[in-house]
Amino acid sequence: MYDEQQRPDPGRQGPLAGFTVGVTAARRADELGALLQRRGAAVLHAPALRIVPLADDSELLAATKDLIDQAPDVVVATTAIGFRGWVEAADGWGLGESLLDRLRQVELLARGPKVKGAIRAAGLTEEWSPSSESMAEVLDRLLEEGVEDRRIAVQLHGEPLPGFVEALRAAGAEVVGVPVYRWMPPEDIGPVDRLLDAAVSRGLDAITFTSAPAAASLLNRAEERGLLPELLAALHHDVLPACVGPVTALPLQAHGVDTVQPERFRLGPLVQLLCQELPNRARSLPIAGHRVEIRGHAVLVDGDLKPVPPAGMSLLRALSRRPGWVVARAELLRALPGAGRDEHAVETAMARLRTALGAPKLIQTVVKRGYRLALDPATDAKYADV
């Protein structure tokens, strides 16, 4: 089982080194977390949902019996794991052969190649599958064929199918949903709350979403805790929301949150997208003859990763907002979470920051005034008006 929080191998440095990424997935979380860690990210895992076991799902059992008793004209299979799970659950209920016999008699449509593989592994043959893996293309085909007075069973897989069922019903079809797996809130809400706290405090650089229900669940939990405005502000400005595809992004878009999505709706391309986006968002400055890149929980100094304590990162970000300018101790104190009114806390955190960076001259002390980043002279003028 994937631990709630995972740090990358300290000997490994990749494009996501120094960044912390939240993972909300319940399914394939191990795979996604491993892909992120392999590229250097620290991962905070908080499954926003749990999947109802198929064998215990009374709704799926009822839908299966109904389709066996009253044959549909068309069955639309949407996911490979869902189709395989449906057949396995039917076997467990003693209905496996009856279900397969029924599916041999209908027009069986597969959303994509993975579903085709699952269908053929069950000894069945699909009638048709779109090259685009798009439900919109499936809908177009059905409407072109004509669906009036036809009974169409659609394998539901936890994701909303915007407009799909409504369009079929508007065209005169009887649509039967097959809830191959259903989502429920997690049994332990603690990890989700910790992820929310990390997001609103900017302890995360990105949050990944691989299903629309997970996105909706996280937003609902934030609303229950009175944190929704803070979460939305974080997602708008500081924490990158990365979705595996446009359907997954719908609950976030409904709140006005723009997301990034890969061109191919897969975990690998999602991780590759983060490898491009997060380093591009990092602040890079020429300081005291070094190239310094400020990331989420670490700093790259001339390409070497330097882990920095949270208090030090807070100070460094405050200094980098006005590079080259003196920042007063009182202002830096306000940037330190929970520091109170003691300006000695700034001195202590600054000493630890300099030690972590391994280059004390990066930050200059300006006596009786505060601290400043020691920008290279050639670039100092560039930031003079910042």
Residue in this structure with the two tokens 């992820």, named with its chain if needed: 195
Over residues 148-173, the pLDDT tens digits come to 999 999 998 655 576 888 999 999 99
Rounded Cα distance, 225 and 217, in Å: 12
Over residues 17-26, the pLDDT tens digits come to 999 999 998 8
Q: What is the pLDDT of residue 6?
A: 55
Higher pLDDT pick, 134 / 261: 261
Q: What is the pLDDT of residue 335?
A: 86
Q: What is the pLDDT of residue 5?
A: 54
Q: What is the pLDDT of residue 189?
A: 94
Q: Model pTM greater than 0.75?
A: no
Record the tokens describing residue 141, joined without a space.
């085909």
* Contact status, residue 383 vs residue 323, Cβ threshold 8 Å: yes
Is the model's pLDDT at 256 over the cut of 90? yes
Cα–chain center distance at 221: 16
Record the tokens describing residue 140, joined without a space.
């177009």
* Strand ranges (E), 150-268: 151-156, 174-179, 183-184, 206-209, 240-243
User: Beta strand pairing status for 107-110 and 74-77?
Assistant: parallel
Q: What is the pLDDT of residue 98?
A: 96
Asked which of 67-76, 174-183, 232-241, 307-316 is least confident by mean pLDDT, the reply is 174-183
Three-class secondary structure of residue 299 per DSSP: strand
Q: Percent of the chain scored above 90 by pLDDT?
A: 62
Q: All domains of the chain, ordered by start, with CATH?
A: 5-49+186-281 (3.40.50.10090), 54-181 (3.40.50.10090), 283-383 (1.10.10.10)
- Confidence at 81, pLDDT banded by 50, 70, 90: confident
Q: What is the pLDDT of residue 385?
A: 43
Higher pLDDT pick, 378 / 370: 370
Q: What is the pLDDT of residue 386?
A: 44
Q: What is the pLDDT of residue 156?
A: 80
Dihedral pair phi/psi, residue 302, rounded to 5°:
55, 40
Rounded Cα distance, 143 and 351, in Å: 68
Dihedral pair phi/psi, residue 184, rounded to 5°:
-135, 160
Distances (CA, A) of 329 to 170, 196, 347: 66, 30, 9
Is the model's pLDDT at 251 over the cut of 70? yes
- Range 80-98 average pLDDT: 91
Dihedral pair phi/psi, residue 77, rounded to 5°:
-95, 125
Q: What is the pLDDT of residue 379?
A: 57
Rounded Cα distance, 245 and 198, in Å: 24
Record the tokens describing residue 54, joined without a space.
């198929």
Over residues 113-154, the pLDDT tens digits come to 889 999 999 999 999 999 887 888 999 999 999 999 999 999
Three-class secondary structure of residue 254 per DSSP: coil
* Contact status, residue 235 vs residue 206, Cβ threshold 8 Å: no
- Confidence at 381, pLDDT banded by 50, 70, 90: very low
Q: How many CB atoms lie within 10 A of CB 291?
A: 13
Q: What is the pLDDT of residue 82?
A: 85
DSSP symbol at 193: H
Give the residue from 129, 36, 39 showing the smallest Cα distance to 79.
Answer: 129
Rounded Cα distance, 24 and 211, in Å: 9
